[in-house]
A and B are shown apart, each in its own frame.
Chain A
Amino acid sequence: DAKTTQPTSMDCAEGRAANLPCNHSTISGNEYVYWYRQIHSQGPQYIIHGLKNNETNEMASLIITEDRKSSTLILPHATLRDTAVYYCIVRSPYPLGGTASKLTFGTGTRLQVTL
């Protein structure tokens, strides 16, 4: 699975959009970009995933650059409850040679939403 690079931490004012970047310059053609978040020692929570098109769901939007070497997770109106560590993960959903497509977590971005 391709490696990802994320900023260690970010701040965002409540009500503003939070834009969390992720670099994945070695991503291969069949690898998807997944985003998870972990709120203070709770189990990680799936947010969104995509291959090359921009995606939106009730939680967030995912913008993937045309060359797919980077992406941005957008929380349109951040609230205090969005304070968490956000993980960007790149992986193939289809296992090769019997190897399961496990999720490999990096260090993530610690997002602090403030009043």
Chain B
Amino acid sequence: DSGVTQTPKHLITATGQRVTLRCSPRSGDLSVYWYQQSLDQGLQFLIQYYNGEERAKGNILERFSAQQFPDLHSELNLSSLELGDSALYFCASSESTRALNYGYTFGSGTRLTVV
């Protein structure tokens, strides 16, 4: 157990639907990062939050959005789902966005299948 909790572990949904993925960071970590890993794209950075504020954006589609709540958990919302959104979605956390950190801690991921 890495200390980063992602739910659900598996999700199957139809095209056009909307889903929410949840991430609870490791205790004490203020930063949360979301990554998407599909078969042909590798690990792609989506977005980062630090203590409730968005800090960096990667290749995140407009149909996707995220937020970090006061208790520091984060949610990634995916809407108008397409077959190509099928992927593993990982959340990671770290102590600080500024300090030299000793690495991110990743969760075990959510496997999303769009049918």
* Residues of A in contact with B (beta carbons under 8 Å apart): 32, 34, 36, 38, 41-46, 49, 87, 93-95, 98-108
Q: List 27 A-B contacts (CB under 8 A).
A: A34-B103, A38-B43, A41-B88, A43-B2, A43-B92, A43-B106, A43-B108, A43-B109, A44-B92, A44-B104, A45-B106, A46-B103, A46-B104, A87-B43, A93-B99, A93-B100, A93-B101, A98-B55, A100-B48, A100-B56, A101-B97, A102-B45, A102-B56, A103-B92, A103-B104, A107-B42, A108-B42
Q: Are A104 and B97 in contact (CB under 8 A)?
A: no
* Residues of B in contact with A (beta carbons under 8 Å apart): 2, 4, 31, 33, 35, 42-45, 48, 50, 55-56, 58, 88, 90, 92, 97-109, 111
Identity of the chain B residue whose Cβ is nearest the Cβ of A41 in the assembled complex:
B88
Q: Please report the C-alpha to C-alpha distance between residue A42 and residue B105 in the assembled complex, in whole angstroms.
A: 12
Q: Are B102 and A44 in contact (CB under 8 A)?
A: no
Q: Which of A36, A98, A99 contacts B103 (CB 8 A)?
A: A36
Q: Please report the C-alpha to C-alpha distance between residue A49 and residue B104 in the assembled complex, in whole angstroms.
A: 12
- 7 further contact pairs, Cβ within 8 A, besides A100-B56, A103-B33, A103-B92: A43-B107, A44-B106, A46-B104, A93-B99, A98-B55, A102-B58, A105-B44
Q: Which residues of A contact B108 (CB under 8 A)?
A: 42-43
Q: Which residues of B contact A106 (CB under 8 A)?
A: 42
Looking at chain B's contact residues, the main secondary structure is strand
Q: Which of B33, B45, B102, B107 contacts A49 (CB 8 A)?
A: B102
Q: Which residues of A contact B2 (CB under 8 A)?
A: 43
Q: Are A44 and B31 in contact (CB under 8 A)?
A: no
Identity of the chain B residue whose Cβ is nearest the Cβ of A103 in the assembled complex:
B104
CB within 8 Å for A95 and B98 given contacts A45-B106, A105-B43: yes
